[in-house]
Amino acid sequence: MTDCVLAFDIGGSNLKAGLVDPSGNILKEDRLPLPENRDQALEALIHLAGGLAKQGECIGIGIGAPGVIDHASSSIAADANNLPQLVGARFDELFRVWDVPVKIDNDANNAARAEHLFGAARGKKNVLVVTLGTGIGGGLILNDTLYTGASAYAGEFGHMIVEARGRRCTCGGEGCLEAYAGAWALRLRAESLRKRFPESSLTGFPDGAMDVADMAAAARCGDTLACALMREAGEMLGAALASAANLLNFDAVVIGGGVSAAGDVLFEPMRASFRQRALPKVSQTCTLLEARLGNRSGLVGAAALIYGNTE
Ligand SMILES: [Zn+2]
């Protein structure tokens, strides 16, 4: 196991750790709830590490976390507001005694690394990896290299503008893709429209209780409201993908995240919208793929930080 990477996936409520081999397989893994106190959170990371490997048994430590990362100091920058206890913590110093490279990046970038190195986009040079969840994240691989942009904000696919003066987004802007196809937006839209569709099965859910899986299931049964919601979200996704692909001429787009489990009721209108809107040459070159790594992408992507040449 001496050629493995010790990988961490830091989430808003859990710390996951795993030992990942050079082929991207997770050999061992463990998790702990994320303590609210900073010292206890750091201790939990050390404890997880010690349970999976001993010093000298791994070639590097890779870490994924939500939000913006300060690469100069290997830490989570101040605006990762769902992890206040870990903002500014120096992970390189925390693991200094391991005497191996320690790298950290945000989870959307790591998901892109994971799919590029070990998943659906293996062998593709120019790739957009989209994560559909409560929000919509993205990671860009250009010429086999992760592209982060001038201030590490590249890949904010959820905030592509699909409608000037459109619906309000959580970022404060309007008309962002996320305000049409993010899970939060789909639920709000369903709740506001269902009064007009008394026959819809979506009227049976208490406010706040409906998720995209419920809407997708209803759409597969032909529910008019659910079909309309999925169709609109798919069309907007396809339009945003076409814009991004027209700009960057991808070999492939990889779609993952919990909302992608909605399947064809979302993907069919998305594909049609993309093919209709992308320039013919751009559309011919670009393959639309489903992510392969699923919920392993956090740990595998953190390991890809060490294994990859996408720096
Ligand atoms: Zn936005």
Q: Is the pLDDT of residue 73 over 80?
A: yes
Cα(47)–Cα(125) distance, rounded to whole angstroms?
A: 38
Distance between Cα 243 and ligand 1 center (Å): 16
- Residue 181: predicted pLDDT: 96
| Residue 278 Cα to ligand 1 middle (Å) | 22
214-269 pLDDT tens trace: 999 999 999 999 999 999 999 999 999 999 999 999 999 999 998 999 999 999 99
Strands 287-290 and 252-256: parallel
* 4-112+296-307 shares its CATH topology with 123-291: yes
Classified by CATH at the fold level, domain 4-112+296-307 comes out as Nucleotidyltransferase; domain 5 (3.30.420)
Is a pLDDT exceeding 50 seen at residue 311? Answer: no
Distance 156 CA to ligand 1 centre (A): 9
Q: How far is the CA of 182 from the centre of ligand 1 (A)?
A: 10
> How much is the pLDDT for 12?
80
Higher pLDDT, 13 or 45: 45
Long-range contacts of 33-42 (CB under 8 A, 24+ apart): 34/10, 34/83, 34/85, 35/85, 36/85, 37/85, 38/85, 38/86, 38/89, 41/15, 41/85, 41/86, 41/89, 42/86, 42/89, 42/94
CA pair distance 32, 130, nearest whole angstrom = 27
Superfamily of domain 123-291: ATPase, nucleotide binding domain (3.30.420.40)
Per-residue pLDDT, 122? 96
| pTM for this model (two decimals) | 0.90
Q: What is the mean pLDDT of the chain?
A: 93
Q: How far is the CA of 159 from the centre of ligand 1 (A)?
A: 4
| Contact by Cβ (8 Å): 217, 200 | no
- The pLDDT value recorded for residue 115 is 97
Residue 158 Cα to ligand 1 middle (Å): 6
The residues spanned by each domain of the chain are: 4-112+296-307, 123-291
- Say how many Å lie between the CA of residue 177 and the centre of ligand 1: 7
* Ligand 1 midpoint to CA 152 (Å): 17
Distance 233 CA to ligand 1 centre (A): 15
